[in-house]
Amino acid sequence: MSEPSRLLVLVGSPRRNGNSAVMAEAVARGAADKGATVAVRFIDDYISNFLRDCRVCRKPNGECSIEDRFRELFFDDFLPADGVVFCTPVYWYGVSAQTKAFFDRTFCYYAGSYPDSAEVVARMSRKRVGLVLASEETYPGASLGIIHQIQEYSRYTRSEFVGLVRGFGNSRGEVSRDPGDPLAESIRFGTSFFDLKYSDYHLDTDRAGKVWPEKGS
């Protein structure tokens, strides 16, 4: 039997019972129901500092000298994962600082100055990536910068950006009253995460012309 897929659900809000968190839990529930091994982590529990100048602060053995738990999150949860769902509130039309700091801090370990950077680069690459956004504003433009960032992150790491859930709310957990029902959508997203069809064609890609098989075939 094959190993269950490993999903990391990374929450970038400081609010434990906030909108990103409740959607993150829903994604996790869906994925676990489907048999995935799931970890939900709040970035706040692991990162308490921004990236610094690695040339100045890297230890002689190549390790990052910043004293927080980023290393644990990165090596124990992120690198082994087959898929990662980034769950973040929209802050100033971008990801939260926590989420951005997560991306920035990976530099310490994929940079060539880290002794095992080649292995880190390989393990950072080729994951499934998903996005869950909580915002007050409903218009599509409020999320476009973030979608673009995750798309570029996925391209750069040769990952597959398979989907997005947006939930609207402001006070804690208010997304549960969003008539679009982002909690149900989040559960579905989790359930189907490792099966979602991913396609990104080029002009010269060989393709069948149809996206789905005929019914009954």
Contacts with ligand FMN by CB under 6 A lie at 13, 15, 18-21, 89-93, 134-137, 142, 169-170, 172
What 3-state DSSP class applies to 91?
Answer: strand
Q: Write the burial class of residue 141 (CB in 10 Å: 0-12 exposed, 13-18 middle, 19+ buried).
A: exposed
Q: Nearest to residue 64, comparing CAs of 125, 110, 11, 118? A: 110
For the bound state, the minimum distance from the C-beta of residue 132 to ligand FMN, rounded and expressed in Å, comes to 9
Nearer of residues 149 and 157 to ligand FMN, judged by Cβ = 149
Distances (CA, A) of 74 to 107, 174, 197: 11, 30, 27
Distance, in Å, from the CA atom of 99 to the CA atom of 83, rounded to the nearest integer, reads: 16
Nearer of residues 135 and 186 to ligand FMN, judged by Cβ = 135
For the bound state, the minimum distance from the C-beta of residue 135 to ligand FMN, rounded and expressed in Å, comes to 3
Closest residue to ligand FMN: CB criterion: 18
For the bound state, the minimum distance from the C-beta of residue 20 to ligand FMN, rounded and expressed in Å, comes to 3
How many residues can be counted in the chain? Answer: 217
For the bound state, the minimum distance from the C-beta of residue 82 to ligand FMN, rounded and expressed in Å, comes to 25
Nearer of residues 66 and 101 to ligand FMN, judged by Cβ = 101
